Chain A
Amino acid sequence: MSQKITSYPGHEITSDELKEGKYLDIQYKFVPRYSWAAGVAISRFLDELKEGRIVARKCSQCERILVPPRMYCEQCYRPTDAWVQVRDTGTVNTFSISHVGTDARRLKTPILVAVVDIDGASPGMGILHNLGEVEPASIRIGMKVQAVWKQPSERQGAITDIRYFRPIEA
């Protein structure tokens, strides 16, 4: 605000005032349903997860091995060339201990979340996932981890076919 402006508009209201019905509010719930095509690259990626494997795409021009895989290299702007199986181990690039859920409600048990750089892919090719079988206080950047898979019969071709990543015993 400028010192030239001496009064400014706006009426602040509190959530308590809303709850008490001091102001009229209209409630509405919108429940849409979607069916997403996973795409060419991610469909194959999900199929392979179902088999307990992580796959990448290689661009033979920049020689990067891309995870998550894509059918085109966004840097060279050309189609990628080949499927490459990478490992189900990796390194914790960064991590967080989340005390909140999707809608910011507080959780009783925190979620451990990390970006895991996947072994066999180009440096810095990480994916988002959860950590497990580890005390929050002992998680470190640089920690080696391995995927813990669901039983084959429970897998659905989803990112959650990996239950979480756990530290590899040194």
Chain B
Amino acid sequence: MLESPKELSFEASKMALDSAGLTLKDIQSVVSGSAPDAFDGVHMKGEYYLDGMGAIGKPHERVYVGGGTGVFTPIGGWWNVASGMYDTVLCVAEEKMSPLHPHPQYAFWSIFDQILERPLGTTLLWIFSLEMRRYMHKYGIKEEEIAEVAVKNKGNAIDHPSAQLGAKITVNDVMNSEPICSPVKRLDVSPPSDGAAAVVLVSEKVAKKLTDEPVWLDGVGWTLDSTHWTNRDLAYPEYVEKAAKMAYKMAGIKNPRKEIDIAEPYDPFDYKELHHLEGLQLAGKGEAPKMTVDGVTQRDGDLPVCPSGGLLGVGNPIAAAGMMKICELFWQLRGEAGKRQVKKDARTGVAQAWGDLMQVGTVAVMRS
């Protein structure tokens, strides 16, 4: 994008304020989210983009848990409101990955252990391919089944006006795409992106004044595992399960498979959507691929998953991608998602993001 991080933040924040019928004067605090400073090459990014975020002279905090940041940003906003400190909070997530050359992937090299792992020539793609392979092995999953997720999400993204990679593709296209880091192929992966997304969070009493159709943030959860990722069960994201259970408990959800109508799990790679559906307790272990093949997760299915088009289709501006999922649930739960609107009457949704060294789960439950 031509826009700078400040400009991207401004555009998203302004749209969120307009949507809520508010101006910056009405906002008491700002929570921002953005992933590694290394993308921009601007250390103290949170202070740099501050004015674009509308945060001058206001209490502002930047939250950061790698790829989990996008869903963690509204969780930070929730703390502001739930603590009773503020009634109106602007939550903005921004990412500009394009400045780093020759490829934004390079920034991820420095998240690995500097003594034991970086000397081996690591790339972030390794951990995804290692995890995908282990997941396939444990449950006997085929690459073709996983590819169905890329087909669905890129197809869904055709209807998203901000999408970078919306496309009609086939399982064969995915299977025949360039092997990047086997079993990961070119079309299994989301692209690097620039973008921003924002929401306004307000207290219950303010919400009722602003709209007759509020969407409530009813449950939040987040947990992290250690960076000892090679000591972990790579076939199942236990940290996502813990975060999900925390959020479900808060939202009073006892049976997520019955009570969740729509899900936006983090899908930087196609198998991750499946992994996360299982961690979110929306599918049994190793069962999410079959749900996908059976069409359950299509927009007209019983459990629409990533109706937005997800990271695979809309793009993956890291922090903004997680927040994009929060925005999608907001529109879906209000029935205003237009061409992307799911067929069922969706009242309860869950968004989830994930990140760092396969160790972060951030989860938000939303209701209309």
Contacts and interface: CB of A to CB of B under 8 A. Distances in A.
Interface string A91-123: 001111111111111000011011100000000
Contact of A99 (B103, B116, B182): B182
Contacts of B180: 99-100
A115 B120 contact: no
A42 interface: yes
A38 to B, nearest CB: 5
Given A1-B160, A46-B115, A159 B120 contact: yes
A13 B120 contact: no
Given A94-B234, A127-B116, A101 B181 contact: no
B161 A99 contact: no
Contacts of A8: 15, 161-162
Interface residues of B, number: 54
A43 B180 CA distance: 34
A21 interface: no
Contacts of B44: none
Interface in B251-276: none
A95 B126 CA distance: 9
B277 to A, nearest CB: 21
A100 B123 contact: yes
Contacts, number: 154
Contacts of A30: 41
A153 interface: no
Interface in A125-170: 125-130, 136, 141, 158-160
Nearest to B192: A104
Interface in A1-50: 1-5, 8-13, 23, 28, 30, 34, 36, 38-39, 42, 46
Contact of A68 (B123, B228, B234, B339): B228
A3 B337 contact: yes
B182 A96 contact: yes
A36 B11 CA distance: 41
A63 interface: no
A102 B109 contact: yes
A141 B137 contact: yes
Given A94-B134, A94-B234, A103-B105, A42 B116 contact: yes
Given A28-B41, A96-B126, A128-B116, A102 B121 contact: yes
A115 B115 contact: no
Given A2-B19, A93-B134, A159-B119, A98 B337 contact: no
Contacts of B102: 103-105
B15 A5 contact: yes
Contacts of A100: 105, 123, 125, 180-181
A86 B41 CA distance: 42
Contacts of B331: 1-3
Contact of A141 (B109, B134, B195): B134
B226 A74 contact: yes
A158 B336 CA distance: 57
A128 B228 contact: no
B15 A105 contact: no
A99 B179 contact: yes
B107 to A, nearest CB: 10
Contacts of B232: 124
B336 A13 contact: no
Interface string A44-71: 0010000000000000000000111000
Interface string B37-60: 000010000000000000000000
Q: Which 9 A-B pairs have the closest CB atoms?
A: A3-B338, A96-B129, A104-B103, A104-B105, A11-B2, A94-B134, A97-B182, A126-B230, A9-B11
13 contacts: A1-B160, A2-B337, A10-B3, A10-B195, A11-B2, A100-B105, A101-B121, A104-B103, A113-B126, A127-B230, A130-B120, A141-B134, A158-B119
